[in-house]
Amino acid sequence: MAIVETLTSNATAIATALVGGALLLLWRLSNVQLDAREPPVLKPTIPIIGHVLDMVTLSHAFFTKTYKQAEGKEAYTLPMMGGKVYFVASPELVNAMIKSRSLSFDPVLRDTIAKLFTISKAGVRKYVDPSTGLEARWTKNFYGCLNGVELKEINKAVLTDLFRQLDELPDEVNVEDSWLWLRDKLSFASTTAMLGRDNPFCAHPSLVDDYWYVDSKLVHFALGPAPWMTAPSAWMARNRIHRALIKYTKEKKHEADDVSALWRGSYDLLHEFGFSESDIAAFLQATLQAALFNTIPTFNWYFVHIWSDPSLVFRLREEVSGVVAESPERRGDGKREMTMNVAKLEERCPLLVAAFHENLRTVAVGAFNRVVMEDTIISNGKGGQEYLLKKGTTLMASQSVLHVSKEHWGSQAGNFDPTRFIKGAGVLGELESPIKPGTYVPFGGGKHLCPGRHFASMEIWGMMIALLLSFDITDAEGRTLTVPERTMPTMTSGIGRPVAGADLRLKLSRRKDWNNITWKVVMA
Ligand code: HEM
C-alpha cells in the first residue's frame, strides 16, 4: 500500500511539474519581455504562432495586415514563437533604419547567399571572415563596376543585344505569353551583357526557364529545412545552372573581351582568394540572381502599364522621338540605321522616367531586413519619438506599406499615374510632388542602396523606347492591353507575376516608316 501511495504521489508530482513547466513555457512564448523604450507589442490573433503563420501564408500581405491592426502605430514589436521582430512603418523611421550603420543588411545577405547557392562551407567562412577583407572588396567591386565607364559599357552591351533581338523580329509578331516573351528577351540580353555572348544561357535557352523556375521556388531554399525534398525540381534546375556556370568558368569564357568589368572583377577577386571553380560558379549564380530577379518583372509591368494607356503611349512617343535620329548613310545590308542617344535620359525623357518610377511604386512590395548589431536608438525626427532596438533582433520594413499608403499618396494611391513623379504636376493636390523621403524606396537606400539601379533603369528605358517607336502593340484581338492581376510574390521576391490564366497574348505590328531599320545605341 505504502509503495502504491508513494508511486501515485510521485506520478502526481511529476505530472504537476510537467503541466506547470508547459504552462510556464507557453507563457514565456506568448509574452515577450520588453524594455519600455522598445516599440510596443502587437499581439498575434492566435497566441505564439499567429504572426509566423500569417507571414508564411500571407507573404508580404502580412505587413499590410499588421499595419492595419496596429492602427497607425509607426513602430511595433511582433512576438514570434518566443522571439521577436521589430517592424517600422513610417517613412521617417524607414529612413532612419536605412541610414543607420548599426542596423546591418550584411548578415541577412550572407545567410541568403549561403542558403540559396551551392557555395561550400569553407567558401562561406572565407567570404565572411572580416580579417580577409574579401566581403568589403566584393561589395566595392559591385558598386565600382556599375558606375562610370564600366556602367556605360554594360549599358551599351545590354541595349545592343536587346536591339539585335528586336531587329530580327518580322513586321508582324503574334506572342502567346507576353511575360515569357519579354522575360526571355531581357534574360538573354542581361546575361550577355554580364557574361559575354558566349554564355551558357544563350547556348542553352532552357537554362533561362530553369533560372525562372528556381526563382519561383527560392523561398524553399531560404526558409525550408530540406529544399531537395520540398522543391526537388527546383533543386535539380539550380544544380543544372551551377554545372553550366562551372563549365563556363573552367573553359575560361570569362576572359573574353565582351565580358563585363563586373564579372571580370568578381572573378579575379575570388580567384585571388583561392576559391574553387565550383564556388566561383556559385557566386556567379548569386550575381545573376541579383541582376535578373527584380529587373525583368519590373519591365514586364512597366510594359503593360504603358501599353494599357494609349494617351500615355502617344505622349511618350513624342517625348522619346527627341533622343532618336536616323543616320544619313544606308548600311551595307540596305537597312536604315536609327541611333538612340541614351545620355541624360532622365532630363530628356521626364515622362518615360516618371512612368518607370510610378510603375515601381505600384508593383514593388518587397521587405527590408536588418539585424540590430548593437543596442540602437532610432527616432522619427529631430526631438521626436525615439525607440530602443535591442542587439541581435531583426528589424523589418515593407514597400507594401509605404508605396501605396493613402496617407502618403492620396486617395488615388492605388492608381497608376506617372505624373505623380513629375515635379509640379499637381495631380496629388495636397500631396504635391516631389516625393516625401522614405515613402518611395524601390532601390532601398543608405549603405545598401541598390548598385544595379542605373544598369536596370537603362536596360528598361532603352528597350521601352525601341518598342514604343518600332511597334504598335495590342492584345490578340487588336484591342488596347489590359493590366493583368498580379500574384503576391513570395518572401524571396518583391514583385508579383501575372496571375495564372490571364490572357497574355500580344500582337505587334511594325509602324509605318519603322520597318527595315536597325537600332544602334549611342551614349553621348
Ligand atoms: C529594377 C531592378 C532592381 C530593383 C527594383 C532592385 C532593388 C534592390 C533593393 C530594394 C535593394 C536593397 C535591399 C535592402 O536594402 O534591403 C537592392 C540591393 C542590391 N541590388 Fe538591386 N535591384 C534591381 C536591379 C539590380 C541589378 C540589375 C543588380 C546587379 C547587376 C542589382 C544588385 C544588387 C545588389 C548586389 C544589392 C545589395 C547591395 C548591398 O548589399 O550593399 N540590383 N536592390
Predicted confidence (pLDDT) per residue in 180-195, tens digit:
999 999 999 999 999 9
Minimum-distance ligand 1 atom for the alpha carbon of 457: 1
Would you identify the CATH topology of the domain 120-365+440-522?
Cytochrome p450 (1.10.630)
DSSP secondary structure code for residue 447 in this structure: G
Half-sphere CA count of 463, side-chain side, radius 13 A? 30
CA distance 482 to 473: 12
DSSP 119-146: --HHHHHHHH-TTT-HHHHHHHHHHHHT
Long-range contact pairs involving 249-254 (C-beta distance under 8 Å, separation at least 24): 249/277, 249/280, 249/281, 249/284, 250/277, 253/195, 253/196, 253/198, 253/199, 254/195, 254/196
- Contact assessment for residue 362 and residue 496, using Cβ atoms and an 8 Å cutoff: no
pLDDT on residue 450 = 97
Pairing mode, strands 517-522 and 336-341 = parallel
Residue with the smallest CA separation from ligand 1 atom 20 is 450
Digit-coded pLDDT (tens) for 78-112: 999 889 999 999 999 999 999 999 999 999 999 99
More confident residue, 353 or 15: 353
CA of 26 to the centre of ligand 1 (A): 40
- Percent of the chain clearing pLDDT 90 (strictly above): 84
Minimum-distance ligand 1 atom for the alpha carbon of 369: 16
Q: Is residue 450 marked as binding? A: yes
Q: Find out whether the beta carbon of 352 lies less than 6 Å from any atom of ligand 1.
A: no
Digit-coded pLDDT (tens) for 411-470: 999 999 999 998 765 444 444 556 888 999 999 999 899 999 999 999 999 999 999 999
User: C-alpha 484: how far from its chain's center?
Assistant: 20
Digit-coded pLDDT (tens) for 310-339: 999 999 999 999 999 999 888 888 899 999
Digit-coded pLDDT (tens) for 361-406: 999 999 999 999 999 999 998 788 999 999 999 999 999 999 998 8
Mean pLDDT along residues 3-19: 64
> Comparing C-alpha atoms, which of 180, 170, 186, 178 is closest to residue 509?
170
Q: SS in 3 state form for 218-277?
A: HHHHHHCCCHHHHCHHHHHHHHHHHHHHHHHHHCCHHHCCCCCHHHHHHHHHHHHCCCCH
- pLDDT-derived band at 32 (thresholds 50, 70, 90) equals confident
- Percent of the chain clearing pLDDT 70 (strictly above): 92
- pLDDT-derived band at 23 (thresholds 50, 70, 90) equals low
Which single residue is written with the C-alpha cell 548598385?
451
Task: Note the residue count of the chain.
Answer: 524
Residue with the smallest CA separation from ligand 1 atom 2 is 295
Mean pLDDT along residues 258-268: 98
Lowest mean pLDDT among 105-114, 154-163, 295-304: 105-114
Reported ipTM exceeds the 0.90 cut: yes
Q: Find out whether the beta carbon of 291 lies less than 6 Å from any atom of ligand 1.
A: yes
Give residue limits of the domains in the chain: 120-365+440-522
Please tell me the pTM assigned to this model. Answer: 0.93
- Contact assessment for residue 212 and residue 179, using Cβ atoms and an 8 Å cutoff: no
Buried b / exposed e along 195-216 (16+ C-beta atoms within 10 A): bbbebbbbeeeebbebbbbbbb
